[in-house]
Amino acid sequence: MDQLAAPVPVPTRLRLAHGVLELIARRAEASILHVKGVALHEDLAAGRMPSSDCDVLVRPDRVDALCEALESANWHQLTHFSHGSVFAHAATFHHAVWGTVDVHRSFPGLDLDPEATFQRFWTDRTTTELGGIDCPVPTLQHQRLLLLVHAARDAFVRPTHDVDVSWTRLNPSERDHLDALAQELGATVPLALVTARPERARGGRQVHLWTALHDRRDARRIRLAMLRDVSSPREAWALARAVSQVNPDHLALRLGRPPTREELRREWWARFPRWILPRNSRRHHR
């Protein structure tokens, strides 16, 4: 019978997975907002490339409670917050039936004060039905801002659809509202870059990092951009130490198992020239 069973369409599975995640969050007393993918407002989803996973934004002070609840419900943690990205904003969990979810404790571009951002979105929230459950989602205007700041750091394929439906098609009043919201939540720089107004980003928070991400620079240039954004020698030293470390989550995914200490050391030495030498110098080094 199993061989004759038709596979569940991905969008259907994702909607069911969101419903499951909402029930888990409620039991853990962890407020979450369902974002992107199948949770998007229909005005933003129409014509968009389909999603392959779930995304939720959790109230920052309930992150640990939600992660523990997920693990208790047989969701296996693939990546941890500290290694997920340069913003350390999300952890990834996988379930054998429901697939993958990215649990966001903050949202890059809206991470100046994650608690204040979540509360603003939560206060104005609406709901959408996912997997037979009424799931909290941000308002249409808030979803637009989420898509835009995400598009600003997309390092692979520039999501022109998201910029089009979230900015280009808006009237001047709606754009002014987004600008004001971005200023309130500390997202002026990414919004300015993704909407082709770089002059508004000058001197802003993390402007060098966001510019490097928006311009799809390589990992070394992104690290240098991060160093340019720090405000003290102490921050620079802490950042230099952090970026020089091997990402154990990525190495584990590559190996198919947790790496040993010796494998972590070997990976560190193998990557060392890439951290300290420009690309041209590396050719001579090899």
* Token representation of residue 196: 């082709």
pLDDT for 29-50, tens place per residue? 999 999 999 999 999 999 998 9
Sign of CA dihedral 146, 147, 152, 153: positive
Percent of the chain's residues with pLDDT above 90: 64
Q: What is the rounded distance in angstroms from the CA atom of residue 138 to the CA atom of residue 120?
A: 9
What would the mean pLDDT of 222-249 be, rounded to a whole number? Answer: 68
Q: What is the dihedral of CA 144, 145, 151, 152, to 10 degrees?
A: 150
Largest CA distance in the chain: 64
pLDDT band at 218 (very low <50, low <70, confident <90, very high): confident
What would the mean pLDDT of 181-210 be, rounded to a whole number? Answer: 96
pLDDT for 122-178, tens place per residue? 999 999 999 999 999 999 999 999 999 999 987 555 578 999 999 999 999 999 999
